[in-house]
Amino acid sequence: MTWRQATREEIYKYYAKEFPSYVDELPAFITAEGPKQYALAFREPHPVRKDGVPDKDFIRRDTWQMNAAGDRTTAAFDKFDDVLEFIRHPARNDPLGQSDFALADPDLLDKPDPRPDAVYYALDHWERPWVLLVDIDAKTIARERATQAVSDEDATGDGEDLLDAAGILEADPAGYPYSFEDIERAIEYGFEVRDIFEDDFNAEETMVVYSGQGVHVYLLDTDPAHRYDAKSREVLNDLLQDTYEIPIDPVVTADRRRVARLPYSLHADVCSIVTPIESPNFDVQSATPEVLQS
């Protein structure tokens, strides 16, 4: 098969049929009430209820309401099934309810019921003070590879021309700014980072997640020795890049307020399931949802 975008129907089918079978396999800290937010991205901007407010292609929803003191008062989702309902029908199950800023009622629209192109959860967590995530993107690897492969005369810039000159745009998956080779390399790097975490940073709980176009490597230990604040994360970034020569996206590591793709959610741009993986030999084709294969 080739890499392609999932259709609206395929996305719905995935979350209705296949995704629920993975829910029990989600990491224990990903619950209805744990992450401070869930977020959805849409392919096309969807209107909100209030007039004059721009349409949204990305929405974040708090899992809890807070009082003025910042304490939790009311949960947005009672159980993970509620999160699932929100993913399946965001406009009908928007935790903002009837608020002016909630997604517009699908019954009133010509293009009802937006489907999530991507589902995210916040690394910031109510019960878990720190989650560390390192992002390794196949695009970065491809660009570096192209820069090395292509001499100055052949490339006029560092964008598409460069990738084109290096033959990356033509290689499978065709049209994407990386090839399968780059994704495989990203996965290898991911396991290198996991080993570094375990060997040099004494991490016991780690996770490598295939993200669809690269990997996320998690350091999940909760003891204070791993309470890396933003400054320590900058150190980690520098070490990973300089000492270990891993091509990471340093912005992600340092920023605890980011959202990350929810494991087992669908990366709709490439029809791939975001999958926790155990080995660098992981076959990315196996992350294609069954509902799309049939």
Partner 1 sequence: MSQSTPVEDERTAYRVATLPLEYGTTRINQLFTRGYNRYIVDGEDQPDDLLNDLERFGTAAFKEDVRADAAEEPFVDEPGTLAVLATLSAICVKAHPKFEHAPPRKVQVLYDIRELYVNNLASLLREFGDGSFQQDIAEVLYAKDPGEDGPHPGRVCTGIKEMPEFGEGLYLEIPVAAASRDCLIRADTERGETGELLTRVKNNHLYVPVGNFDTKYREYARRAFKKLLRVQEENLSEDQLTWLTTNESAITERIDRFIETGHYERIWRDWDQGERTIRVLRDAIRDAPDEVVLLGEFHSAKELFEAVEAYDPEADWKRDVCNRISSPRSLGNLLASQRDHRSLTIRQHRNTNHYRIQESARGVQPLTVESIEDLFELPCMANMAERLNEKKPVRKDLYNFSRMVMWLPQYQDSDLETIVADLKDVFSRWPWYDEQVTDYQIRYEFSNTIGGDTPLPMNCDNDDMQRYCIGQEQCPYSIWGSLPFPEEMYDQLDEAKSTGEEF
> Can you give the binding site for partner 1, defined by CB under 8 A?
129-130, 200-203, 224-232, 234-236, 238-239, 242-243, 256
- How many CA atoms within 13 Å lie on the side-chain side of 136? 27
In the bound complex, what is the minimum distance in angstroms from residue 236's beta carbon to partner 1?
7
Nearer to partner 1, 22 or 29 (CB): 29
> In angstroms, what is the minimal distance from the CB of 200 to partner 1?
5
Q: How far is the CB of 124 from partner 1 (least distance, A)?
A: 9
Cβ nearer to partner 1, comparing 71 with 231: 231
Amino acid occupying residue 176: Y
Please state the closest distance from residue 68 (CB atom) to partner 1, in A: 20
Q: Which is nearer to partner 1, 97 or 224 (CB)?
A: 224
Give helix 138-149 / helix 180-200 axis angle, nearest 10°. Answer: 110
Nearer to partner 1, 256 or 267 (CB): 256
The distance of closest approach from Cβ of residue 283 to partner 1 in the complex, given in angstroms and rounded to an integer, is 32
Q: What is the distance between the alpha carbons of residues 146 and 166, in angstroms, rounded to a whole number?
A: 5
Which of 218/282 has CB closer to partner 1? 218
Q: How far is CA 134 from the centre of its chain?
A: 11
**How near is the Cβ of 230 to partner 1 at its closest, in Å?**
6
Both tokens of residue 13? Answer: 């089918």
Smaller CB separation from partner 1, 6 or 203: 203
Q: Which residues contact 149 (CB under 8 A, 6 or more apart)?
A: 166
163 or 196, CB closer to partner 1?
Answer: 196
CB of 158 to partner 1, least distance (A): 20
